[in-house]
Structure 1
Amino acid sequence: MRIAIIGRPNVGKSTLFNRLVGKKIAIVDDIAGVTRDWRAMPARLADLKFEIIDTAGLLGFEHDTLFKQIESQTEDVLKTADLILFVVDGREGLVANDENLVRKLRKKLQTPMVLIANKCENQKTIDNLGDFYRLGIGEPVAVAAEHGIGLGDLYDVLKERSVSLGEDQAAMNYDDEDEDTPFDPNAAPEDLSDRTLNLAIIGRPNAGKSTLINALLGQNRLLTGDMPGVTRDAIHLDWTYEGRNIQLVDTAGMRRKSRINKRLERLSVSDSLKAIRYAEVTILVLDAQTPLEKQDLTIAEHVIKEGRSLIIAVNKSDLMKGDFLSELRKRLLYVLPQVKGIPCIPISAKNSKNLDKLMKMVFAQEQLWNTRIGTSLLNQWLAETISHHPPPLAGGTRIRLKYMTQIKTRPPTFVLFISKPAELLDSYLRYLLNKLREDFDLPGVPIRFQVRKGKNPYDNKK
């Protein structure tokens, strides 16, 4: 069953969405109109499983260009819903915009609606819901989404609707995969084709992130515009490309902290940082017409610190002037010397130029991010590397690099057992990292090194 939530701004739609999803997905604030792009997520209420859609607040009459886009997209997604939850503010009571919106929905849709009166924290509010019967969509279900009040009554209504739709036999299973399996560096490379790839699109405001996603999807799924800050929430979209399941995440533009002076924008940036943390590959979108700024490099640095694989898409490349790409590569190498070879792909999201090349690079970087190097091969490499360039002396004695093994992928992470960890110079560790990247062909992927004191853990097993 697919359920859409709709209503005018600031009636608590996103709060109800978060409550049904079971975690804080949508940004919630007292400012009206926080939600712009719609989002869909698996949800459950007791034993009832369904898909829930959060939509932008509408008034029933939209004149601004951006809000006309919002209205059009909301109408499109409502047509795919089996049921609409029409949310009103029980505390404020019936207002003209509620009636305008219901009237408009009736003209355009045949989808059944359930009236949800939110913010009903006390009996007095519930007793004053009589005016809402004038909307003509039945008895209001009184809830207080913020506090979880009234969910039992909502369950009864949804259960009845699901039975009428035959959903009991088609409940969706959203159980997460168990990934707590021991890591074996000598195992065969993992087949990634059956995994869903989490791909985040990030960058400064107005770089063309939403335009890029629309071009990849082949539809105007996300709002776009020349005004910075159109996207507010991190929007998760399921997509299939050449048979591979991908979850695309469009994020709000990230500006320097000194320029973030609104609470809502701070929440949006926090949402974007969270999207990076849970991504596997990230595409940083730059505008070829805009001079490279420190903030672009700061975002790239954050991605690498999180251990995510990074690709840079230079948008509007048809308007690119001078040696933009070569200058970009130089500055990346200066700021992120530990990650050589970050891919930079010139694209045009508006004209769908080079998007196939971009996606091929996404899959290539994902494969590198999942690289496994067998322990035997790794220690053979270590011995050869030390013989050509031994570590410097520490207090007149040689530091002994005894053994090395890979302990995880995503990103590739290695442990080096040595005699004097505290005395190994950072410069030599960087040398090992760069040599490893070069010899095993791992360009642009963050690699993590851990140094521990100890002997070869296999010495006692010989």
Structure 2
Amino acid sequence: MVTIAIIGRPNVGKSTLFNRLVGKKLALVDDRPGVTRDRRNGDARLLDIEFEIIDTAGLEEAAADSLEGRMRQQTETAIDEADLSLFMVDAKSGLTPQDSFFCEVLRRKNKPVVLVSNKAEAKNSSAGFYDAYTLGLGEPVPISAEHGEGMGDLRDAIVAALGEAAFADPDEDAAVAPERDPDVTILAPGEGDEEEPIEVYDDTKPLRIAIVGRPNAGKSTLINRFLGEERLLTGPEAGITRDSISVEWEWRGRRIKMFDTAGMRRKAKVQEKLERLSVADALRAIRFAEVVVVVFDSTIPFERQDLSLADLIMREGRAPVIAFNKWDLIEDRQAVLADLREKTERLLPQARGIRAVPVSGETGDGLDRLMQAITETHEIWNKRISTAKLNQWLEKVTGHHPPPAVAGRRVNIKYMTQVKSRPPTFVLSVSRPEALGASYTRYLTNGLREAFKLGGVPIRLNLRKTDNPFAGRAKKYT
């Protein structure tokens, strides 16, 4: 597939055009310059042509070791990977020395370039549009990324630069069977106690993972170490990542899609609009993922925000895994590891049995163990238990510890079945659900976790009132 990169100085509308081409608001957009820092890939469609699009950070002249310099290196990598660059200028504000400087950078790359003059709908933009001719990159294409104007002309310019053959689909007639989503399989309670077939876990299916944590916990460094390249922008500055960036790779032949997210601080500290957008983007990544890795800083673990993130993941029904990062900075590792395990059990009782792995994004130590923990947790998250086994277990636990009587009346538990996985969700048929009590529900949940090896994943137990076969019948007097 053709790959196209959007290049330009800060605040010319690159992310706005990216969102329009992919048809979703994936990239954060704000009036201030320099919002985008990492390069972001997406599947784009422009009228009748499809291609991969790369959104990049705004080009700035800066020292190589500065944050802006590292952002520029990421953008130049995108130019090298792309078949074509869309060089965007701002028709509203006109050309700047930065535009001329980076025009020369693109010229030295000796790759196809389409000059795009954005914000052409604005008043007094014609002067800036005609100034773009002086760059020597051919005729500029006037567009409005915000309003969608000029998209037909942009399509024609792209096809003219690469040729119609570049967008021909060799597999146009190939049919792809839709993948079945295991979430849609619902087992209704009361269908019978026979042993239904349980689907075997498929360890070859693609896996979606989100990496979350406090700012400067080392999330981007960890992902770069997985990939074996400097794909994401890193550095000593806290809060470098703003967008939730997805990257794809393979681990032991299995396709992995991993999301890097912005560091999330406590809600009371999030004041700026841009940070609120970054946090909202990270929350969307959590909901889209299957397994969420919470990255703790081993030197200062179990801050309140760490615990809040782990609790949020459990409430969202995702499968959590803890990565104790920066393990290379720990000296007395055995003592620290024992302390971390004790605190994990004590401070996260709602995630009993959660897998926690010490890792180092700087050296790569422990990454294979972390991936193993992720796949094991994902398998448990997808686990299904037969109705017959559940009710055999239910009979034992209720016989050993029956539910307490409320107001002199016993609560009768009739039946249990698993209605879905991802996470494991069960329905309990009870005569009086309101009288069962939270403590007895926890007793059953912990029993399920222990008996069926469901450690470390959220378990949902829903109570359903038993149907009364005599309800509605008139009382007879004799």
1:325-336 counterparts in 2 under 5 A?
325-336=337-348
Tell me if the contact between 2:204 and 2:253 (Cα under 8 Å) persists in the aligned partners.
no
Bigger CA drift: 258-267 or 85-94?
Answer: 258-267
Bigger CA drift: 221-230 or 169-178?
Answer: 169-178
Q: 1:204 aligns with which of 214, 223, 234?
A: 214
Rate the CA distance shift 1:40–1:187 in 2: closer, same or farther, 3 A. Answer: farther
What's the secondary structure of 1:193's corresponding residue?
Answer: coil
Unaligned runs of 5+ in 1: 458-462
Aligned residues: 456
Verify: 1:351 aligned to 2:358, yes or no. no
Structure 2 length normalisation: TM-score?
A: 0.90
Q: CA deviation at 1:196?
A: 1.7
Verify: 1:418 aligned to 2:419, yes or no. no
Tell me if the contact between 1:417 and 1:456 (Cα under 8 Å) persists in the aligned partners.
no
Tell me if the contact between 2:87 and 2:114 (Cα under 8 Å) persists in the aligned partners.
yes
1:133 is matched with 133
Q: 1:442 aligns with which of 454, 458, 468?
A: 454
Rate the CA distance shift 1:291–1:409 in 2: closer, same or farther, 3 A. Answer: closer
Rate the CA distance shift 1:138–1:61 in 2: closer, same or farther, 3 A. Answer: farther
- The residue identity in structure 2 corresponding to 1:441 is K
Aligned CA RMSD, in angstroms, stands at: 2.3
Q: CA deviation at 1:103?
A: 0.6
Q: Distance in 1 between matches of 2:171 and 2:66?
A: 39
Q: CA deviation at 1:170?
A: 4.3
Q: CA deviation at 1:64?
A: 5.1
Bigger CA drift: 7-16 or 166-175?
Answer: 166-175
What's the secondary structure of 2:398's corresponding residue?
Answer: helix
1:140-219 counterparts in 2 under 5 A?
140-161=140-161, 163-170=163-170, 177=179, 179=181, 181-183=184-186, 186-219=196-229
Unaligned runs of 5+ in 2: 189-195, 470-478
Tell me if the contact between 1:402 and 1:455 (Cα under 8 Å) persists in the aligned partners.
no
Structure 1 length normalisation: TM-score?
A: 0.93
Bigger CA drift: 214-223 or 180-189?
Answer: 180-189
Q: CA deviation at 1:184?
A: 5.1
Q: Distance in 2 between matches of 1:296 and 1:53?
A: 32
Tell me if the contact between 2:28 and 2:277 (Cα under 8 Å) persists in the aligned partners.
yes
2:246 is matched with 236
1:299 is matched with 309
Q: Distance in 2 between matches of 1:384 and 1:50?
A: 59
Verify: 1:94 aligned to 2:95, yes or no. yes
Write the deviation string for residues 1-49 of structure 1: whole angstroms up to 9, x where unpaired: 1111110001010111011111111111111111111011111123321
Q: Distance in 2 between matches of 1:212 and 1:101?
A: 31
Q: Distance in 2 between matches of 1:336 and 1:133?
A: 62
Q: CA deviation at 1:389?
A: 1.2
1:388 is matched with 400
Q: CA deviation at 1:157?
A: 2.5
2:9 is matched with 8
Write the deviation string for residues 198-238 of structure 1: whole angstroms up to 9, x where unpaired: 11111111111111111111111111111101111111001
Larger Rg: 2
Task: Give percent identity, aligned residues only.
Answer: 49
What's the secondary structure of 2:351's corresponding residue?
Answer: coil
2:104 is matched with 103
Tell me if the contact between 1:50 and 1:171 (Cα under 8 Å) persists in the aligned partners.
no
- The residue identity in structure 2 corresponding to 1:48 is I
1:216-231 counterparts in 2 under 5 A?
216-231=226-241
Q: CA deviation at 1:265?
A: 1.5
What's the secondary structure of 1:313's corresponding residue?
Answer: strand
1:53 is matched with 54
1:116 is matched with 116
Bigger CA drift: 69-78 or 293-302?
Answer: 69-78
